[in-house]
């Protein structure tokens, strides 16, 4: 596995690349151009400037997270072909700059959702948390206001302002959307872009829906084994792959994450993994934790072992750490706890590797 760290780009992240470079075993950053609205082409010069900055810091820039998909593509609406053409141009620009994997999602309206961005834990840290009763019965516009207030001034990935301005309008547009239509729109998108990805050597890696169940009456399709199988079958190509996010899928206790890893990494259809832990209190109520198995509900040893046993050689990053040691930063994306997460995941990998060799 190639260990990476998410970095939001100059002016969007308060963590210096020089600090990321000092995390043991790191190979590169996973990054994005935060300022480009979904649907627009990523300009080559901006991609190359970011690449130079990252490489000058001694890090690779091979995974992009995310290139967001315009709502018209998910809706199958109006200008979708134009937005798909733009997406294809961005894919070509990124490939030319040396990118290998593009992480994206196909969640209607929202990306990930939480009820709390800074829930205090007994150890004095804070974490992001989800309580269905406090999300699903709340006006989504209220939720957006809470997010803006609690995010400490940092823009949150997936909660871009241009998307949120259109919230009420978008809810209307999705009124008649169902699972079948959403799958069909995903298929339309993939059929258009995957041949280009194959040509230029890019693997698209879809991120699961977080949390992995429908909310606010919006369908969600990347939530469990059947959906993952179905989307991989839409276009049977290594360029149509997964971002296997253990915490997103794992917040539904019915999802057996080590089994998912064995299956999908065994099929060589996992291009990228987000490995993190969560603690499930009961169905629909969970909070994030340190990466350590005993702090949460996921067996991190079993997960890493499944990646190891299936010969996984893709990209990995830790995800959504706690905020610890007084760090001020973007919720879930501080330096310290994610660096601890990396060290732990690398430790598991080394132990499994050495024990397997005897
Ligand atoms: C949350 C992230 C997601 C992810 C997107 C990919 O912290 O894992 O926002 O980047 O869903 O498009």
Q: Containing H/E element for 65?
A: strand 60-65
Residue among 111, 147, 211 to mutate when testing ligand 1 (max atoms within 8 A of CB): 111
Residues 267/236, Cβ–Cβ less than 8 Å: no
pLDDT exceeds cutoff 80 at 16: yes
Question: How does DSSP classify residue 129?
Answer: E
How far apart are alpha carbons 128 and 116 in whole angstroms? 5
197 flagged as catalytic:
no
- Reported confidence tier of residue 135, pLDDT bands at 50, 70, 90: confident
> What pLDDT shows up at residue 91?
98
Question: Whose CA is closest to 134, among 284, 304, 308?
Answer: 284
Q: Which two tokens stand for residue 53?
A: 């900055």
- Model confidence pLDDT, tens digit, residues 234-293: 999 999 999 999 999 999 999 999 999 999 999 999 999 999 999 999 999 999 999 999
CA angle (202, 208, 211) in 5-degree steps:
155
Closest atom, ligand 1, to C-alpha of 333? 7
The pTM for the full model equals 0.96
How many angstroms separate the most distant Cα atoms in the chain? Answer: 60
- Model confidence pLDDT, tens digit, residues 215-243: 888 999 999 999 999 999 999 999 999 99
Tell me, in angstroms, the distance from the centre of ligand 1 to residue 356's CA.
33
Helix (H, G, I), strand (E, B) or coil at 54: helix
> What pLDDT shows up at residue 148?
78
> What pLDDT shows up at residue 165?
74
Helix (H, G, I), strand (E, B) or coil at 346: helix
* Given the residues 72, 93, 209, 245, the one annotated as active site: 245
Tell me, in angstroms, the distance from the centre of ligand 1 to residue 207's CA.
7
245 flagged as catalytic:
yes
* Given the residues 72, 209, 210, 319, the one annotated as active site: 319
How far apart are alpha carbons 198 and 240 in whole angstroms? 9
319 flagged as catalytic:
yes
Helix (H, G, I), strand (E, B) or coil at 90: helix
Helix (H, G, I), strand (E, B) or coil at 167: helix
How far apart are alpha carbons 356 and 353 in whole angstroms? 5
Residue among 106, 210, 248 to mutate when testing ligand 1 (max atoms within 8 A of CB): 210
- Model confidence pLDDT, tens digit, residues 51-86: 999 999 999 999 999 999 999 999 999 899 999 999
188 flagged as catalytic:
no
Question: Whose CA is closest to 188, among 338, 73, 275?
Answer: 73
> What pLDDT shows up at residue 188?
98
pLDDT exceeds cutoff 90 at 159: no
Instruction: Please give all residues whose beta carbon lies within 6 A of any atom in ligand 1, as ranges.
Output: 65-66, 103-105, 111-112, 157-158, 207, 274, 332
By alpha-carbon position, which residue is closest to atom 12 of ligand 1? Answer: 104
Total count of residues recorded for the chain: 358
- Strand ranges of the sheet holding 116-120, from the earlier edge strand across to the other edge: 116-120, 126-131, 285-288, 278-282
* Given the residues 70, 274, 287, 291, the one annotated as active site: 274
Tell me, in angstroms, the distance from the centre of ligand 1 to residue 357's CA.
35
Tell me, in angstroms, the distance from the centre of ligand 1 to residue 111's CA.
7
* Given the residues 333, 336, 337, 344, the one annotated as active site: 333
70 flagged as catalytic:
no
Q: Which domains does the chain have, with CATH numbers?
A: 2-356 (3.20.20.150)
Question: Whose CA is closest to 332, among 340, 317, 321, 342?
Answer: 321
């Amino acid at each position: 596995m190639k260990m990476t760290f998410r970095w939001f780009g100059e002016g969007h992240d308060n963590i210096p690349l020089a600090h990321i470079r000092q995390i043991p075993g790191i190979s590169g950053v996973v990054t994005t151009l935060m300022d480009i609205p979904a649907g627009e082409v990523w300009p080559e010069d901006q991609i190359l400037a970011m690449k130079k900055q990252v490489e000058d810091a001694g890090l690779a820039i091979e995974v992009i997270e995310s290139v967001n998909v315009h709502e018209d593509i998910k809706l199958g609406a109006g200008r979708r072909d134009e937005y798909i053409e733009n997406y294809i141009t961005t894919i070509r620009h990124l490939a030319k700059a040396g990118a290998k994997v593009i992480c994206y999602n196909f969640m209607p309206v929202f990306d990930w959702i939480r009820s709390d961005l800074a829930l205090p834990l007994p150890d004095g840290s804070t974490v992001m948390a989800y309580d269905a009763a406090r999300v699903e019965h709340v006006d989504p516009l209220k939720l957006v206001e809470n997010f803006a207030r609690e995010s400490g001034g940092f823009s949150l990935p997936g909660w871009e302002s241009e998307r949120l301005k259109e919230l009420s309008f978008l809810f209307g547009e999705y009124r008649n959307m169902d699972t079948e239509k959403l799958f069909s729109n995903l298929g339309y998108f993939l059929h258009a872009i995957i041949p280009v990805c194959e040509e230029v050597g890019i693997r698209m890696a879809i991120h699961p829906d977080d949390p992995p169940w429908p909310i606010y009456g919006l369908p969600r399709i990347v939530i469990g084994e059947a959906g993952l199988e179905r989307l991989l079958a839409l276009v049977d190509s290594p360029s149509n792959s997964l971002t296997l996010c253990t915490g997103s899928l794992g917040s539904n206790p019915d999802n057996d994450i080590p089994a998912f890893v064995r299956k999908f990494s065994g099929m060589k259809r996992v291009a990228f993994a987000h490995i993190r832990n969560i603690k499930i209190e009961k169905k629909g109520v969970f909070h994030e934790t340190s990466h350590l198995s005993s702090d949460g509900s996921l067996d991190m040893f079993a997960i890493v072992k499944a990646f190891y046993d299936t010969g996984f050689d893709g990209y990995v990053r830790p995800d959504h750490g706690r905020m610890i040691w007084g760090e001020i930063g973007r919720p879930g994306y501080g330096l310290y706890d994610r660096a601890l997460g990396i060290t732990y995941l690398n430790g598991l990998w080394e132990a499994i590797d050495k024990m397997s060799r005897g």
